[in-house]
Amino acid sequence: MKISYNWLKELVPTQLNIDEFCEKLTMFGLEVEEVVQPGKKLENIVIGKVVSVEKHPNADKLSLCKVDVGGDESLSIICGAPNVVKDILVPVAMIGAKLGDFEIKKAKLRGVESFGMICSEKELGVSDDHSGIMIIKQDFEPGTPFADAMGINDNIIEVEVTPNRPDLLGMIGVAREVAVMLNTEYEHPEIAFEESEVQTKDEISVIIEDAEKCPRYCARMVKGITVQHSPEWMQRKLVASGLRPINNIVDVTNYVLLEYGQPLHAFDYTKIKDKTIVVRTAKDKEKMMLLDDTELKLHSNNLLIADTEHPLALAGIMGGLDSSINDNTKDVVIECAYFDPRNIRASALEYGLQTDSSNRFERGMDPNGLIEVIDRAAQLIQLTGGGEISSGVVDCYPHKIEPKILTLRVSRANSILNAKMSVDEVKNYLNNFEFSTKKTSEDTFEVTIPTLRPDIEREIDIIEELARCYGYNNVESHFWINRIDNKQKRTVVRLTKNHLISLGFFEVNNMSFASPDDLDVLKIPENDFRRKVVEFANPMGEQFSIMRSTLIPDLLKNADLNLSYKFENFKLFELNRIYLKEREDTFAEPTYLTGVIVGKFDPFYWKEEQRATSFYDVKGIVESVFSKIHCSKNITYKVSNQPYYEEDSAADIFLDEKKIGSCGIMKDDVLKSFEIEALVLLFDIDLSNIIPLYNEKAIRFTEIVKYPPVLRDIAVIAPSDIEVGEIEQEIKSVDPNIIKDVQLFDVYTGKQIKQGCRSLAFNITFQSETSTLTDKYVDKLFDNIVNKLSLEHQIELRQE
């Protein structure tokens, strides 16, 4: 629903600026979706006074005007409108003004220059009138901004009205709500008029045949009116609320709809046969022609407003064509009724007629507010079209709909909101909503809910209203803070375990105890950190005299056990703590991931010969683990000299500069001490430093590069002591922005390659994020790579 802030301020005074107001409104439950400032569109449009009008020398229909816009000199403006004359005030769009997408510039029309434009109402979006330029009747200084003069400097607030609140579909309802929100008062329009001698009930009678579908029907008469344009102030408010002015009668019904939310209908009195309005259901297959020229075929569930013979309107949804107001209408019957929401909804759905009127009726209007609304309509029709208002309202209301009376326990409200509202506070809030209260005990009220609030049906509904007054933000929050949970570690541990399992590993679980002999067997030197063991004061025996400082011995024992059960090829891992003594009384318990690959890496497959296992198998496992837990980028490998690995068959693993583990082929004699004769690959990684780095929220989507990559192969002869990793780095460093990837795809040493060298082939991916790479550019980079490798590293391009 669109709310004009200026209009609203007429009903509820407030000093709040628009932003503060909208914030408050949203937090009170009326969510502001958008605020539009129509005046913004009217910048550089000012009031001008036409000083002189001459005929355009070269065009009959154009006039050459001088217009005073408050500056030192009058502007020369060419105008094509027939109604431009000297001394009138007009809206002038000056150079730089924008009318929609059209910007006013200095222009030459048939050889004469024009410095602006005099606008019609339609061009300014004030009305649909395009018959001539807009003539401003009030008195303004030339140069006054047009938006100020017209009061269009408004803020139009678009709010979402929830479906349970039909009372908020009118300005007065919004004003009532805002008054509660601001703890202040609001004003109803002042309704006063004189009634004629003629009694309405003598002019028109109303018969309700189906009181269930139409519980109440009110009618009033205004006789001798003139159908014409409605006054400017009314048109302006209609336009601000998104409605198009048509004529004073239609405009008044729309205006009152905007004010009260209650739909009205106006009939031409002369079209009502026998001066009788019959509210009845349609006969089967009865036909009627609607205002919009569509013909409906009705049935007995459709409610009609009819005279003694013909339908006049589809009740609450749309008027009929025959009975509608036309330019010659003199006497008007105003309808103001309450229809059963379910019936309106069914009929509107059935015929696909969701009108302003049906939308409101189907949410439930206030059956007891009709008299005020119909009086307001009569007053405004007289104000805009003259005529005489007949005396009294014909009010057909067979069974009055009474307001609901509910019991509210203040203690209940407080316990739901965890609040401490006093009885007086609660009473004040309720009265602001126009709920009347009667205290029935220290803790309870009898609350009368006005019929304009069909949404309040139970005590809990009242409590919701109190909660809004109390302020959702003032409700104390009581919650479980996530401050202890070890989610980060749990995630890394589970990712790692699940990953290894899908690679065929079995997890083992060993007890935390060990014997010092285990370290000797692994040949761990005396100064190694794993020698700082935690010793028992009361050990369970020599075999269990220390806490384990490495998981390796246990895994080797597990391997030995399973080899003895005739398993030949298998993979085991354990993810658990080790225990280290830091100082006399302080201990560390880092989490380790240790695994062994026993025998062949690949499972046996009848179709192929089983591949020999190598160092790169265990390295591949380790790399995949790191990539699973997002730390590959920080990991580097260097040749390891851990004593339990075969020489030149293992790597130490570094996280940034810190050594966190190793992987490689285990030494035969170490394995022999565990009675193992199979090949065993080992990895042994401290996860403690990696876990804190894991952050799943760091994963961000990056836009896919739309320029194609260029792939080139390079084959080089490199001295064997230069590591592949280094060469990859060197290649990348030639242009890290373009060289996205360097992949080793072939290694060869043999008789064609000179001693101490190896042939390496890499696949290089070039890609730019900003353009398509040309061959020439890639050639140049390729040459730079070749030059760099050759000059700095004696790595030569391999010749065919």
Partner 1 sequence: MKEQIQEILEEARRSIPSCESDKDLEELRIKYLGKKSSLSDLLSKIGTVPKEERPQMGALLNKTKKEIAQLIEQKKLKLHEKADASRALGLDVTMPGRPLPVGAKHPLYQIWEEIEDIFINLGFEVAEGPEIESEYYNFDALNTPSWHPARNPQDTFYLKGGKLLRTQTSPMQIRVMEKFKPPIKIISTGRCYRVDKMDPSHLPVFHQVEALLVDEGITMSDMKGELDSFIKRIFSADTRSRFRPHFFPFTEPSAEIDILCINCKGEGCKLCKNSGWLEMGGAGMVDPAVLEEVGYDPEKYTGYAFGLGIERIAMLRYGISDIRKLVTNDLRILKQFQ
CA distance 177 to 26: 12
d(CA 647, CA 659): 19
Q: What is the 3-state secondary structure (H, E, C) of 732-775?
A: HHCCCCCEEEEEEEEEECCCCCCCCEEEEEEEEEECCCCCCCCH
Nearer to partner 1, 583 or 633 (CB): 583
> Closer to partner 1 at the Cβ: 376 or 581?
581
Between residues 536 and 616, which has the closer beta carbon with respect to partner 1? 536
Residue 616 Cβ vs partner 1, minimum distance, rounded to whole Å: 17
Biggest CA-to-CA distance, the chain: 126
- Give the interface with partner 1 as residue ranges (CB under 8 A): 478, 480, 482-487, 489-490, 494, 497-498, 500-513, 534-538, 540, 544, 547, 558, 561-562, 565, 567, 570-572, 577, 579, 581, 584-585, 587, 589, 603-607, 800
Residue 339 near residue 316, CB atoms below 8 Å: yes
Place of tokens 């929401």: 341
Minimum CB–partner distance for residue 482 and partner 1 (Å): 7
DSSP 8-state class, residue 701: -
536 vs 547: CA distance, rounded Å: 8
Taking the complex as a whole, how short is the minimal distance between the CB of residue 682 and partner 1, in angstroms? Answer: 16
Packing angle between helix 248-260 and helix 232-240, nearest 10 degrees?
50
> What gap in Å lies between CA 77 and CA 117, rounded to an integer?
6
52 DSSP β-pair partners: 66
Find out whether 77 and 93 touch, Cβ atoms under 8 Å: no
Mapping DSSP onto H, E and C, the string for 308-345 reads CCCEEEECCCEEECCCCCCCCCCCEEEEEEECCHHHHH
Contact predicate 306/323, CB 8 Å:
no
Q: What are the φ/ψ torsions at residue 600 (nearest 5 degrees)? A: -75, 145
DSSP 411-455: HHHHHHHT----HHHHHHHHHHTT-EEEE-SSSEEEEEEPTT-TT
Smaller CB distance to partner 1: residue 577 or 793? 577
> Which one, 230 or 558, has the nearer CB to partner 1?
558
Q: Which is nearer to partner 1, 538 or 770 (CB)?
A: 538
* Rounded CA separation 374/337 (Å): 9
The dihedral over CA atoms of 44, 46, 52, 55, expressed in degrees to the nearest 10, equals 50
Look at residues 663, 615, 596 and name the one whose alpha carbon lies nearest to residue 636: 663
Pair of tokens at residue 512: 């935390």
3-state secondary structure (DSSP) of residue 609? coil
Nearer to partner 1, 378 or 552 (CB): 552
The Cα–Cα gap between 414 and 422 comes to: 9
Amino acid letter, 240: A
CB of 505 to partner 1, least distance (A): 4
Measured over the CA atoms of residue 411, residue 417, residue 423 and residue 429, the dihedral's sign is: negative
Token readout for 426 is 């609660």
Q: How far apart are CA 157 and CA 2, in angstroms?
A: 6
Question: How does strand 570-577 pair with strand 505-507?
Answer: parallel
Tell me how far the alpha carbon of residue 492 is from its chain's centroid. Answer: 32
Give CA–CA dist 233/7, Å, rounded. 11
Q: Looking at residue 667, what DSSP letter applies?
A: P
What CA–CA distance (Å, rounded) separates 317 from 304?
10
**Are 37 and 94 within 8 A, CB to CB?**
no
**For residues 188, 192, 196 and 200, what is the CA-based torsion angle, rounded to 10 degrees?**
10
- For residue 335, give the nearest of 240, 402, 262 by alpha carbon: 262
C-alpha–C-alpha distance, residues 380 and 386, integer Å: 9
* Rounded Cα–Cα distance for residues 739 and 418 (Å): 62
**CA neighbor of 141 nearest in space, from 133, 129, 149:** 149
Compute and round to an integer the Cα radius of gyration of the chain.
Answer: 44
Contact 311, 304 (CB under 8 A): yes
3-state secondary structure of 180: helix
